[in-house]
Amino acid sequence: MSAGAGGAATAENGDSMLTEIDHVAIAVHDLDAAVSWYAATFGATVAHRERVESDGVEEALLKVADSYVQLLTPTREDSPVAKYLASRGEGLHHVGYRVADCAAALQSVKDQGGKVIDQAPRPGSRGTTVAFVHPKASFGTLIELVQE
Ligand code: CO
């Protein structure tokens, strides 16, 4: 990676901070049913399954090349995903972009005047470091910045 002002890639130097699609997250009511459907229909198997208590979700990751489809279901009623399902129903919930430096990518959103959900990077699933960007900052898409 080329060095920017802070040693990390910056938007100004032409190197995209977004290195890969980490995952596409789909909110579902019944995680087992969704996992079974992907297995029966596409032969896709679960590479990782995890309950993230801090977010009130359980997720199943299905590997697709170097990325994942993340099936997501709430574990409690006050989970943001529960609210999402209640208001919008099942479907695309967020896109996770892989970044080399979550803090730098988050700072870049703030520098552009964008609204963020996480003020600072925090632990995500699979031992990753993540931060969410508010959909109002990003043309209606909830973005998760994922540093492995
Ligand atoms: Co995610």
3-state DSSP assignment of residue 6: coil
Per the structure, the count of domains in the chain is 1
Considering only CA atoms, which of 100, 112, 114 is closest in space to residue 143? 114
CA of 145 relative to ligand 1 center, distance in Å: 9
CATH number, position 29: 3.10.180.10
Distances in Å between the Cα of 141 and the Cα atoms of 25, 94, 133, 135 are 11, 6, 9, 5
Q: Is residue 8 part of a domain?
A: no
| This prediction's pTM | 0.86
Q: How far is the CA of 1 from the centre of ligand 1 (A)?
A: 24
CA of 23 to the centre of ligand 1 (A): 7
- 95 CA distance to ligand 1 centroid (A)? 7
Q: Which of 5, 24, 21, 14 is nearest to 104 (CA)?
A: 5
Backbone angles phi, psi at 79, to 5 degrees: -70, 140
- Local confidence pLDDT in tens for the 148 residues of the chain: 444 444 455 555 468 999 999 999 999 999 999 999 999 999 999 999 999 988 899 999 999 999 999 999 999 999 999 999 999 999 999 999 999 999 999 999 999 999 999 999 999 988 999 999 999 989 999 999 999 9
Please indicate, yes or no, if residue 6 is contained in any of the structural domains. no
Residue 4 belongs to a domain: no
Asked whether residue 74 is assigned to any structural domain, the reply reads: yes
